[in-house]
Amino acid sequence: MTQTQGGFSRFWQAIKRLITFKFLYESKRIDERAEAMFTRSADGIKAGFDLTKEQWVQQYRDLRDAIANLIELQEQRQIKLEHSHKEEEELIEKRDGALTLYEKAQTEKNEEETKKHEAAFSRFHSRIQELDKLQDELIKEIAEKGKELANYKLRLTDFQARIQKLEEEKQEAIADFVSSKKTIELNERLAGIATSLETGPLEAIQKARNELKARAKLSSELAGTDVAFQDLQYQKTGRETSGESVLAQMLAERKAKRKELDAKESDEKIEERPEI
């Protein structure tokens, strides 16, 4: 092989590998899309079960027809066996007749009749042996095929039961799918509610409330440092202090006057007391 031919061969092998890979890749994608179509919705599950049922029903019918053909063949073997028994009975009678005539011809020393009856006897006997062999084969075959038929009928019955159960399985699968999907949706909805509670209006309101409280506190603190406000506080305190001083002064003067009056009254009482 030349270098050119070798390169051409490798080129075609690479093309074949590419085509094969492309085919397998596309087949896998088709399988995945088909699987998704039958598994992602209740309608898809229903369609999957219905399609399977159609396929199984067709397989059931084909199997049933095949078993029917086997039964027909079995019946033909049985009929053939019965016919062979009937033929054998007739041949036995004929063989016995040929044997009787053979003995008679031999007694009469009729060579021509003797040979004729001998040939008939041999023909009948040979056929009887063939029938015996055929009957043995038919009996054996009927027994073997009967066991196979019994097995096929059992499988056909099981297959029929599976097909009948498909409807129940379909309803259960749809119910499970819908229930599971609703459960997932409910959980997601509950999770969504929790999220909205965390990041929704209530949190925004609370945040704004805290911000306003902080701003009010800061405003109050800043107001306390205002010069004009401090002057007003000083003036108010001074007024209060001045009022208190005047009150204290007036109370002191009143107390002093009371003391002076009390002392004067005491002196007058002493002067008025008579001498003893």
pLDDT, one tens digit per residue, over 70-87 is 999 999 999 999 999 999
Query: Does an H or E element contain 261, and which?
Result: helix 227-272
Neighbouring C-alpha atoms within 13 Å toward the C-beta of 177 = 15
Mean pLDDT over 26-33 rounds to 52
H runs (alpha helix) in 200-226: 201-224
Decide if pLDDT at 245 tops 60.
yes
- Kindly report the pTM of this predicted structure: 0.49
Distance CA 232, CA 247 (A): 23
Range of lowest pLDDT (15-19, 54-58, 208-212, 217-221): 15-19
Maximum Cα–Cα distance across the chain: 223
Q: How far is CA 37 from CA 30, 42, 47, 274, in A?
A: 10, 10, 9, 138
pLDDT digits (tens, 9 = 90+) for 246-268: 666 777 777 888 787 777 766 66
Decide if pLDDT at 102 tops 80.
yes
